[in-house]
């Protein structure tokens, strides 16, 4: 028997075996196949009584392409379900405080706060408003560094106008700790100072939970978790209320969603790769 005939016979035997296995498994063309059974239906209910432990009928989580991380040279690709607030090309998602077109400089894939004396100055805010969310922001403070304390590389990420996560050049630049980079301004310093040098790209990954109000009454406070350059600096920290310069915080009732703001504090801080994802509850589409 030739090698060719032998391999042909083996091929036919393998094909027949595969067909038998497929038929046994119900995979043959045209077969009506019940979906594979997932999980269990005889297990105890979880607290709340909606889903059982290992409940196979529980909704499958939505699939999201997680994108890619940034490198010092180039911004990463946002997750597929993110709303991109700035991709390096324009400021269509941003307005001035009075609602006009945002005038910050867009150059080399970055937006930059105009230096004092330049046109387009002033804080900017998103066109849209956001509630509970995951917010990704990358920034770099001016190099060489200029000024000191609060005047070195100052900007800020706001949920307007109540809450600010401080942006500052805190690399070898001391200030009051609840006003340094990644501080919840006027409330909590970061757990550690994970700042990079001026001119290097830094990232904030912010998980923000809005407070809930019933009329004027606070029902639940805001909470924030923050990673600064991948380092945890706030861990589901309870926000104490609206943040004020030189005043104690207090909650001031506001709508469930707020615009995101970027502060102009007179330093030409640059931003790139800004995106936000709405955060919903478990089992929601």
Q: Which residues are near Mg ion by CB under 5 A?
A: 154, 156, 263
Closest approach of Mg ion to the CB of residue 147, in Å: 13
Judged by beta carbon, residue 156 or residue 241, the one nearer Mg ion is 156
Query: For the purposes of burial, counting CB atoms within 10 Å of the CB of 178, is it exposed (0-12), middle (13-18) or buried (19 or more)?
Result: middle
Place of tokens 């405080």: 97
Tell me the H-state helices in the chain. Answer: 3-25
N- to C-terminal Cα distance for the chain? 61
Distance CA 122, CA 100 (A): 11
Judged by beta carbon, residue 180 or residue 209, the one nearer Mg ion is 180
Judged by beta carbon, residue 113 or residue 227, the one nearer Mg ion is 113
Distance CA 160, CA 254 (A): 10
Question: Could you tell me how far CA 224 lies from the centroid of its own chain?
Answer: 12
Question: Could you tell me how far CA 39 lies from the centroid of its own chain?
Answer: 32
Closest approach of Mg ion to the CB of residue 269, in Å: 9
Closest approach of Mg ion to the CB of residue 113, in Å: 11
Judged by beta carbon, residue 82 or residue 169, the one nearer Mg ion is 169
Question: Could you tell me how far CA 65 lies from the centroid of its own chain?
Answer: 14
Judged by beta carbon, residue 154 or residue 195, the one nearer Mg ion is 154
Backbone dihedral region of 215: left (phi > 0), alpha (psi from -120 to 50 degrees) or beta? left
The answer to whether residues 205 and 273 touch, using CB atoms and an 8 Å cutoff, is: no
Judged by beta carbon, residue 154 or residue 209, the one nearer Mg ion is 154
Closest approach of Mg ion to the CB of residue 154, in Å: 5
Query: For the purposes of burial, counting CB atoms within 10 Å of the CB of 94, is it exposed (0-12), middle (13-18) or buried (19 or more)?
Result: buried
Whose CB is nearest to Mg ion? 156
Judged by beta carbon, residue 166 or residue 209, the one nearer Mg ion is 166
Closest approach of Mg ion to the CB of residue 67, in Å: 28
Closest approach of Mg ion to the CB of residue 169, in Å: 11
Distance CA 251, CA 240 (A): 7
Residues in the chain: 285
Closest approach of Mg ion to the CB of residue 166, in Å: 5
Judged by beta carbon, residue 132 or residue 178, the one nearer Mg ion is 178
Written as six digits, the tokens of 178 are 């609840």
Beta-bridge mates of residue 126: 94
Closest approach of Mg ion to the CB of residue 115, in Å: 16
């Amino acid at each position: 028997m030739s090698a060719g005939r032998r391999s042909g016979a083996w091929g036919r035997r393998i094909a027949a075996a595969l067909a038998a296995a497929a038929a046994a498994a119900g995979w043959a063309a045209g077969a009506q196949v019940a979906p594979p059974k997932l999980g269990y239906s005889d297990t105890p209910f979880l607290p709340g009584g909606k889903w059982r432990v290992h409940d196979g009928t529980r909704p499958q989580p939505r699939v999201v392409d997680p994108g890619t991380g940034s490198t010092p040279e180039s911004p990463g690709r946002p997750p597929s379900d993110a709303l991109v607030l700035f991709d390096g090309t324009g400021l269509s998602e941003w307005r001035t405080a009075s609602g006009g077109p945002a005038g910050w400089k867009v150059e080399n894939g970055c937006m930059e706060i105009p230096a004092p004396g330049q046109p387009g100055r002033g804080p900017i805010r998103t066109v849209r408003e956001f509630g509970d969310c995951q917010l990704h922001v990358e920034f770099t403070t001016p190099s060489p560094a200029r000024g000191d304390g609060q005047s070195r590389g100052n900007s800020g990420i706001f949920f307007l106008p109540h809450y600010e996560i401080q942006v500052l050049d805190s690399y070898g630049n001391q200030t009051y700790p609840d006003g340094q980079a990644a501080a919840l301004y006027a409330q909590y310093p970061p757990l550690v100072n994970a700042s990079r040098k001026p001119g290097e790209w830094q990232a904030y990954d912010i998980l923000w939970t809005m407070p809930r109000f019933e009329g004027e009454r606070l029902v639940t406070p805001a909470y924030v978790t923050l990673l600064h350059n991948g380092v945890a600096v706030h861990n589901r920290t309870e926000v104490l209320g609206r943040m004020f310069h030189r005043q104690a915080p207090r909650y001031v009732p506001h709508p469930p969603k707020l615009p995101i703001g970027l502060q102009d504090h007179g330093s030409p801080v640059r931003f790139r790769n800004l995106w936000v994802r709405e955060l919903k509850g478990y089992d929601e589409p």
